Structure 1
């Protein structure tokens, strides 16, 4: 009969703890689990980030599978982190970590050096990092993973029982993949985006009075008329040193402008809703005092048969509600007008169609189609195509409150 025994976390094959190895395991393991979970919370958002990389490397054929690739990557991060902490499958885990970090380090360096992807998405929208910050983070991880790889033979499992290790591995795999699939179907558990439930969107589209502005520095190139010497000075140096009073110095060319300090950044700087004639109707729609169903779809041509059925169910439910309640129903899309006309012919949409750029649409609802219920500028609730409730549930939970 196989029994399960528990090893001390600091035990090694020589019965002497390798402190450096354990520090590396704990640091890398926890960071990989955190990184995987935070991205698995929003696999569609991470998928959008992957599409930016696909574009850079001419792999756009993978765009349609980006969300599922994101789920797989997140799951591997979680699995590797858990198995590393528990000391299971040490060789496979060490190799997996090494290959992943080399790949990620290459990507973040490429992004930073060539300035092709402005944020790596390493920690989703929860902790945005610049490309250089991401690259430095990966270099640090590379050092710790290098230690793990070199010392991997010293790693022993916390549990001696192979059954226990296999069972824990199975549970970890199921949880890791299940977490990403769940949030893909039911929307993120924690919404880090500005369109989250409870937010007042109009206030997020304005700069508060007295908010800090961007600060810029102007750099002049000066040339001495007599000696031919040239030098660069900032606008503050130019004025404080009264260089402008010395006739021997002249400004050559146009001054360079550099951002020194960023001021207040609007949470929603890019939302503009237009009608068929191109008129801006953003304020009218966002600040509507009545119940406002905003159905979002980045591209209706990407609809599967199931998506058509989901949109038809959403459309029919809202149409039935509109017979008894004063509400507005809108389709926000970046699709071509001809594609919307075809969709309308097929489904007899009750939704008014308005047009929005794809970037803010991606942030509104992580579903295609998705639905936002708003009133007086406040996001009351959001649903994916799979979770939009019935007429009776909407009346009981929202419209009759």
Structure 2
């Protein structure tokens, strides 16, 4: 029996198709972009996952955080790409819905309870606050519900089984391959303040003409005669109240952020020696080539890491006989761990200490190497990509 479609029915179907197409393009593109940005630096995303693990008492997953990050990034890219291609529509629709429900809960929890300051949705490329991330997830949820509701209307771009299988396989290999590659060979694009070409000392101070965060101090004061108590700002307090002997301050003042100012890119780098002396300026302003070997957690080096560190140490030792250079090991591990490592490997590197947070940002490798001169990052290498003595001489030292 023929079915007669009224103009209203056809118009409704047309609107649904347009809305579904837009939703697929919007969600698919955003998922691919988000996955690629994080896959560019899965180690950094892994650090963010560790914050969530701590909140939910899953710290036993910390050692696997980088590879969990690789899997999550890969799945994001795959689902986004498959959505755009129209492949496996039912599975993709269900996967997107479950994933966005989970992310929406996570970002709301982070924002409401203020447990994680940045969600890491787009890595370090586009930092978002938890509330911004939650709003983003709500918008995505709307479009994903449309995709889920009308998933049967999705048509694949390629219908032939062989072509579809080949393309799907390539998408999967590429999606996971990017993350695996950058774990070992460093990010393709470095969004961190220690990237090549940056002057570290300049990024540690407030530039001229810039204003930092503005805070307001709140005092609780009490009238000695009447017992009345109230809260006043520091401006109100200094506007005559402090001179009035009838009022006294109760407890310690509290602070409230009034205006967000310029954020210093590197606010937390402090390098010290074994005695606790600050040697940050001495290390960073060295006019000669300065190899900074970073091992954030020297006590977590596995056999492959030790072999890599030994190769780095040997190469630098050979170079130091012919060139005026300095080489240091930066770690957040204890002096006992560093001394033991030094004794076992006969390190030519001078050992200094810094907090784990800036060290994690310096180079996404344990160990990793930065080449500095006058505080400028000339080059960065992972434990795998650190070059030979001959390559370093040809590219840098012999010039």
Q: What TM-score results when the alignment is normalised by the length of structure 2?
A: 0.89
2:329, 2:221 → 1: CA distance?
Answer: 56
Question: Which of residues 317, 322, 328 in structure 1 aligns to 2:326?
Answer: 328
Higher mean displacement: 85-94 or 259-268: 259-268
Matched, 1:366 2:353: no
Question: Which of residues 300, 311, 314 in structure 1 aligns to 2:312?
Answer: 314
Q: What TM-score results when the alignment is normalised by the length of structure 1?
A: 0.89
Q: Which residue of 2 aligns with 1:27?
A: 26
Q: Which residue of 1 aligns with 2:187?
A: 188
The 8 Å contact of residues 206 and 212 in structure 2, kept in 1 or not, is answered as no
Q: Which residue of 1 aligns with 2:98?
A: 99
Deviation digits for residues 106-152 of structure 1, max 9, x if unmatched? 11111111111111100000111111111111111111111111111
Higher mean displacement: 362-371 or 257-266: 257-266
Q: Which residue of 1 aligns with 2:58?
A: 59
Alpha-carbon distance, 1:338 to partner:
1.6
Q: Which residue of 1 aligns with 2:204?
A: 205
Q: Which residue of 1 aligns with 2:4?
A: none
2:351, 2:227 → 1: CA distance?
Answer: 64
Distance 1:224 1:208, change over 3 A: same
Alpha-carbon distance, 1:186 to partner:
0.7
Q: For 1:18, what is the secondary structure of its paired residue? A: helix
Higher mean displacement: 334-343 or 169-178: 334-343
Matched, 1:392 2:394: no
Q: Which residue of 2 aligns with 1:85?
A: 84
Question: Which of residues 259, 263, 283 in structure 2 aligns to 1:265?
Answer: 263
Alpha-carbon distance, 1:44 to partner:
0.3
Deviation digits for residues 230-280 of structure 1, max 9, x if unmatched? 98776778999xx99xxxx99998765321112222110000000011000
Alpha-carbon distance, 1:104 to partner:
0.8
Deviation digits for residues 217-240 of structure 1, max 9, x if unmatched? 456779999x99998776778999
Distance 1:273 1:83, change over 3 A: same
Alpha-carbon distance, 1:74 to partner:
0.3
Moved over 4 A (4+): 14-17, 218-225, 227-240, 249-256
2:337, 2:249 → 1: CA distance?
Answer: 56
Structure 1 stretches of 5 or more lacking a match? 1-13
User: How large is the Cα RMSD of the aligned pairs?
Assistant: 2.7
The 8 Å contact of residues 204 and 266 in structure 2, kept in 1 or not, is answered as yes
Q: Which residue of 1 aligns with 2:38?
A: 39
Distance 1:303 1:254, change over 3 A: closer
2:48, 2:55 → 1: CA distance?
Answer: 11
Distance 1:251 1:343, change over 3 A: closer
1:210, 1:385 → 2: CA distance?
Answer: 40
Q: Which residue of 1 aligns with 2:146?
A: 147
Q: For 1:138, what is the secondary structure of its paired residue? A: helix
1:23, 1:312 → 2: CA distance?
Answer: 54
Deviation digits for residues 297-350 of structure 1, max 9, x if unmatched? 111121111111000000000000000000001000011112122212221100
Q: Which residue of 2 aligns with 1:128?
A: 127
1:30, 1:229 → 2: CA distance?
Answer: 60
1:184-263 superposed matches below 5 A: 184-218=183-217, 257-263=255-261
1:278, 1:220 → 2: CA distance?
Answer: 36
Alpha-carbon distance, 1:79 to partner:
0.3
Question: Which of residues 258, 271, 274 in structure 1 aligns to 2:272?
Answer: 274
The 8 Å contact of residues 294 and 368 in structure 2, kept in 1 or not, is answered as yes
1:192, 1:213 → 2: CA distance?
Answer: 22
1:348-363 superposed matches below 5 A: 348-363=346-361
Q: Which residue of 2 aligns with 1:344?
A: 342
The 8 Å contact of residues 295 and 330 in structure 2, kept in 1 or not, is answered as yes
Higher mean displacement: 332-341 or 287-296: 332-341
1:283, 1:250 → 2: CA distance?
Answer: 44
Structure 2 stretches of 5 or more lacking a match? 1-12
Deviation digits for residues 33-72 of structure 1, max 9, x if unmatched? 0000000000100000011111111111111111111000
2:345, 2:216 → 1: CA distance?
Answer: 56
